[in-house]
Amino acid sequence: MAGLPAATTAAELAEACRGRLVGDGTVVVEGVRSLETAGPRDLSFAADGKAEGPAAASAAGVLLVRSAREFPGRTVIEVPSPSTALAVLLAHAFPRRSARAGTHPTAIVDPEAQVAPGAEVGPYAVVGVGSVVEDGAILEAHTVVGRRCRIGCGAWLHPHVVLYDDVSVGPRAEVHSGAVLGADGFGYAPGPAGLLKIPQVGSVEVGADAEIGANTCVDRATLETTRVGDGTKIDDLVMIGHNCDVGRHVVLCGQVGLAGSTTVGDQAVLGGQTGTIGHVRIGKGARVGGQTGVSSDIPDGGTSFGTPHMPHRQTLRVNAELKRLPETARLVRDLAKAAGRTEMASPAEKAGMTERTTEFASEVKR
Amino acid sequence: MAGLPAATTAAELAEACRGRLVGDGTVVVEGVRSLETAGPRDLSFAADGKAEGPAAASAAGVLLVRSAREFPGRTVIEVPSPSTALAVLLAHAFPRRSARAGTHPTAIVDPEAQVAPGAEVGPYAVVGVGSVVEDGAILEAHTVVGRRCRIGCGAWLHPHVVLYDDVSVGPRAEVHSGAVLGADGFGYAPGPAGLLKIPQVGSVEVGADAEIGANTCVDRATLETTRVGDGTKIDDLVMIGHNCDVGRHVVLCGQVGLAGSTTVGDQAVLGGQTGTIGHVRIGKGARVGGQTGVSSDIPDGGTSFGTPHMPHRQTLRVNAELKRLPETARLVRDLAKAAGRTEMASPAEKAGMTERTTEFASEVKR
Amino acid sequence: MAGLPAATTAAELAEACRGRLVGDGTVVVEGVRSLETAGPRDLSFAADGKAEGPAAASAAGVLLVRSAREFPGRTVIEVPSPSTALAVLLAHAFPRRSARAGTHPTAIVDPEAQVAPGAEVGPYAVVGVGSVVEDGAILEAHTVVGRRCRIGCGAWLHPHVVLYDDVSVGPRAEVHSGAVLGADGFGYAPGPAGLLKIPQVGSVEVGADAEIGANTCVDRATLETTRVGDGTKIDDLVMIGHNCDVGRHVVLCGQVGLAGSTTVGDQAVLGGQTGTIGHVRIGKGARVGGQTGVSSDIPDGGTSFGTPHMPHRQTLRVNAELKRLPETARLVRDLAKAAGRTEMASPAEKAGMTERTTEFASEVKR
């Protein structure tokens, strides 16, 4: 439950998000809650058409909706996008915190680093030689910033973020705890006694207004720059290999893995746990489903899903047939038998079901 | 090799785990080892039926087994569950460490935080305003606890754990190094200039006796609470999205990813690398195989495996047929040809094998 | 762009990597760049045959190539492996940093730990009782080393690495930020009130010259030792479960997950996001494709790819047929109909396309 810092009215909220108030504008709102838990003094929202039923059933005093017509007799705020309005209202009630200017006495800032007067450097933070921390930037407790880094105006590094040398983070970007930017890319060559490390001497650049999730890794380039574009949002535990070029306003969901030199066009969306092989190009605005194995280029505006990856609709068709593959195969065997062909007479079910299929990474004994 | 802190006898061990001793109770035991490495002064165990052959061949002086009858002439301890007995004996010999009461002089505890006298706060730990650390809790080196958090009695945060604001960890829960609890959920809405962040103003609650693996991330809810229930065990590198409700005594194996608002019922088990799309419900006691893509609800007690996910036995049948799909398809083509149908005359093997299939995330040159 | 610390000539570079210079040895080289960005004063390289076209089109002043014949009129350095030569030249120009001997005044080293005089212990590092840090080892800022650990000569722990008790890291091994070595393995047994933890009292051993990626987790063994062999390279966000035995010169790409007791033979290569179930053996020199689900043993020198996993070529054939499964199934239905069989008359496309297929782990509203 998110209790609002100060009570407000439906009318004030409508104004704050530029919505059209329908109903009683004097209703007092003290909190913002989900449809299931909201009460008469709470605001809630119907994110999309599917939520309109639950919204009608909700006890919420005020609702953010797309059309007041669906909610006769209720106090609602009509907006083109309830999600956007929610974002605006929450940002109004819970603004992002500002830097508390100053460097904590326990922080270790190299004398040859530059920290702007309006920046905040927290307890036990370490900032290396030649790095620049711009105005309004926040380095929380235990952040480690290497040498020759740049932290842009108003950027926010959460506790325990690590930047290796030569990493830049754009203005207002937010990097969550445990993220590691600029660790060595994974590059080796055959050597006389095993693998020889190819020194990774490039850098990482994260754009303005980007957000990088907890424990995500963005590796430094071999020679040039691994890039994350302006406004791009990256979830937790994502891995971005060396030399990748991730465009602007891209969305990478949790646990995505981009192999080296992957290019992702602006505004593309990759579902969770999707992986790419190296050197592929995902086009602008492409949409890739979860757990997809991207093994070849995807055109601008294209869709991709599954392994082997195919356009989304094709994978839906394949998956539907896949589910009844045993029946289809049995029918094939029957037809073959009727035609006097006898190969593959036994169902694979018996012939091949020796596969072990317990849990991956599981050692639970029950 | 786990050398026991003090030598003991087979009889004493049998008593400690309430087992039935068969054989020589005076055998001295100095260590607990795997079947392969155990010697005459070691205890080992046969976790299940498959291990009974190796157990019989093992040189272990004492064996934990389900039935002494399978081990004539050996000194064994008969117990209903060898794994459980092993857990009991190891916990007896290697008890979980207790808090060393006190706050390290380098820890930074906000004056308005409350740390119980019996709690341990380690070197360089940081505890924010309004947080409560209860008796017997352990905050190891470099832990960072935000504002208004609660660390229950006897809970244990390993080095480098980060808690954002408003996170509670239940009594005796254990959180491993690098885990991040309460980072922002991944929620955005369309804005005038790219994606607009939906502030994540909810919280995270981890239940009593839960265990959370290294570098795992549990994101804070948008408005309400992301929950991990009592007794639930979560492996390393797992991601739990915002608003998830993970029940009690659930098992999530390594690298599982739960998208936002996933519900997992009590005692469910999810295999490693499994992912869910948002807003699905996995029923109580359900069992989900490794790498499954859970794209729809799973009933209580149900099984699920594969992508597209199906009941476990169905996926086994499909996978078995899948392996001989090329042969099945060739047979179909032969039948079609015999029937005067000529479409798809060429094997897909030739027509479609342009797929690149090298390693994901690999830049190794060999 | 990697600007070389000092300008050099093509002839000097050829000598440094023992290559054969063809063309103008006096060309001055100031940087090493990718083929696309290199100019007349840069060195670049054609890693393999596919890169030879782009290399010919590149403006690079000097090229590392396999055969000078393909580059008439250009200044090239002919070497058997351009990648290896690149590794050698970069290592020459950007040598790995050496330890700056000494312990930072803020580091907390237990009086009963031994730190060699030539080792470097950085700011806020914590080293526990009984641990040994050998000569030339580097412990960067905020590393935490537990009790009874051993950090070999010249090993390098990057900022925020955590070692639990009893972990050893071999000579010259490199462990990247956020990696956690020795956290508890994931082992439980049925107890009277839910799952009972099986204490994990074993250890972790990482071999000489190994490299472990950012935020990777290697869990301690239940009783014995989880091993990572000499020269093995592990990428970011990999999870290695308890009791695993990973051989020498193995390559594990990003986000691989090895369940407990997995054995990986020397020189095997596992593609990104691949998972294994417990207790399987991957043979020496085996090659496993990305996202594979390894559910049974793979022989020495074998290949494996896909889920269900099969030899690589078989998966290619299956995937090619899979893509046209809907057409094959339609043909089967037509043949069945012609033969007077009417089951499964409707395409699965209509019958089964209720599967939800949006993004995993995605809560983005667009």
Q: What is the pLDDT of residues B146-156, one digit of tens each?
A: 999 999 999 99
3-state secondary structure chain B: CEEEEEEEEHHHHHHHCCCEEECCCCCEEEEECCCCCCCCCEEEECCCHHHHHHHHHCCCCEEEECCHHHCCCCCEEECCCHHHHHHHHHHHHCCCCCCCCEECCCCEECCCCEECCCCEECCCCEECCCCEECCCCEECCCCEECCCCEECCCCEECCCCEECCCEEECCCCEECCCCEEEECCCCEEEECCEEEECCCCCEEEECCCCEECCCCEEECCCCCEEEECCCCEECCCCEECCCCEECCCCEECCCCEECCCCEECCCCEECCCCEEECCCEECCCCEECCCCEECCCECCCCEEECCCCECHHHHHHHHHHHHCHHHHHHHHHHHHHHCCCCCCCCCHHHHCCCCCCCCECCCECC
Q: Which DSSP state fits A68? A: G
Write the residue in C94, C241, C353 that is nearest to A363 by C-beta: C241
Residues of C in contact with A317 (CB under 8 A): 326, 348-349, 353
Over residues A315-337, the pLDDT tens digits come to 999 999 999 999 999 999 999 99
Q: What is the DSSP letter of C291?
A: T
Reduce the DSSP state of residue A315 to 3 states and report it.
helix
Two structure tokens written together for B97: 């460490």
Catalytic (active site) residue C249:
no
The residues, any chain, with a CB within 8 Å of residue B300's CB and separated by 6 or more, are: B265, B283, B284, B285, B286
| 3-state SS class at A174 | strand
Q: C184 is written with which tokens? A: 């508890």
CA dist., res. A296 & res. A262, Å (int): 10
Q: CB distance from B157 to chain C under 8 Å?
A: no
Task: Give the residue, A361 or C154, on which the prediction is more confident.
Answer: C154
Percent of all residues in chain B with a pLDDT value above 90, rounded to a whole number: 87
User: If you measure CA to CA, which chain B residue comes closest to A97?
Assistant: B199
Q: Which residues contact A249 (CB under 8 A, 6 or more apart)?
A: A229, A230, A231, A232, A266, A267, B194, B195
pLDDT of residue A340: 86
d(CA C142, CA C159): 6
> Is residue A352 scored above 80 in pLDDT?
no
**In a structure prediction context, what are the per-residue pLDDT tens digits for chain B, which is 366 residues long?**
578 888 899 999 999 999 999 999 999 999 999 999 999 999 999 988 889 999 999 999 999 999 999 999 999 999 999 999 999 999 999 999 999 999 999 999 999 999 999 999 999 999 999 999 999 999 999 999 999 999 999 999 999 999 999 999 999 999 999 999 999 999 999 998 889 999 999 999 999 999 999 999 999 999 999 999 999 999 999 999 999 999 999 999 999 999 999 999 999 999 999 999 999 999 999 999 999 999 999 999 999 999 899 999 999 999 999 999 999 999 999 999 998 887 776 766 554 444 443 444 444 433
Q: How far is CA C270 from CA C226, C234, C299, in A?
A: 18, 10, 14
Q: Does C255 touch chain B (CB under 8 A)?
A: yes
Q: What is the pLDDT of residues A37-54, one digit of tens each?
A: 999 999 999 988 889 999
What's the pTM? 0.95
Q: In whole numbers, what is the pLDDT of chain A averaged over residues? A: 93
* Structure tokens given for C264: 């990986």
Residue B349 pLDDT: 54
Task: Answer for the pair C194, C216: CB distance below 8 angstroms, yes or no.
Answer: no
- Say how many CB pairs under 8 Å bridge A and B: 316
Q: How far is B321 from chain A (nearest CA, A)?
A: 5
> Per the CB < 8 Å rule, is A271 touching C360?
yes
Q: How many Å apart are CA B274 and CA C278, to the nearest integer?
A: 15
The chain C residue lying nearest A193, using CA atoms, is: C231
Indicate which of A309, A359, A366 best probes the interface with B, i.e. most B CBs within 10 Å of its own CB: A359
Residue among C221, C257, C225, C263 nearest C238 (CA): C257
Give the whole-angstrom CA distance, residue B81 versus residue B85. Answer: 6
Q: Taking residues A285-304, what's their average pLDDT?
A: 97
pLDDT at C192: 87
| Any C CB within 8 A of A334 CB | yes
The sheet with strand A162-163 has its strands ordered as A108-109, A126-127, A144-145, A162-163, A180-181, A217-218, A239-240, A257-258, A275-276, A293-294
Residues 81-120 of B with CB under 8 A from A: 81, 83, 108
CATH class, C102-312 region: mainly beta
pLDDT at A188: 97
Helix (H, G, I), strand (E, B) or coil at A97: coil
Sheet containing A263-264, strands listed edge to edge, beginning at the edge strand earlier in sequence: A114-115, A132-133, A150-151, A167-169, A203-206, A225-228, A245-246, A263-264, A281-282
Residues of each domain in chain C carrying CATH 3.40.1390.10: 2-93
Angle at A254 between CA A251 and CA A260, to 5 degrees: 75
Task: List CB contacts of B159: < 8 A, sequence separation 6 or more.
Answer: B122, B140, B141, B142, B143, B177, C126, C144, C162
Interface test with A, best of C296, C334, C360, C363 (most A CBs within 10 A): C360
Give A233 to chain B, closest Cα distance, Å: 8
Residue B52 Cα to chain centre, angstroms = 26
Q: What is the pLDDT of residues B177-191, one digit of tens each?
A: 999 999 999 999 999
At C201 the pLDDT is 96
For residue range A204-234, what is the model confidence (pLDDT) as tens digits? 999 999 999 999 999 999 999 999 999 999 9
Cα–Cα distance for residue pair A168/A132, rounded to 1 Å: 9
| Average pLDDT, 10 consecutive residues per value, chain C (366 residues) | 83 96 96 95 92 94 96 96 96 95 98 98 98 98 98 98 98 98 97 93 98 98 97 98 98 98 98 96 98 97 95 95 94 91 68 42 40
Contact C223, B32 (CB under 8 A): yes
Catalytic residue among B142, B158, B160, B242: B242
Which tokens is A233 given? 């949002």
Interface touch C196/B251, C-beta < 8 Å: no
B 39-78 residues with CB < 8 A to C = none
Fold of C2-93: 3.40.1390
Domain with CATH 2.160.10.10 in chain B: 102-312
- Residue B237's Cβ-side half-sphere holds a number of Cα atoms within 13 Å equal to 37
pLDDT-derived band at A1, boundaries 50, 70, 90: low
Q: How far is B178 from chain C (nearest CA, A)?
A: 7
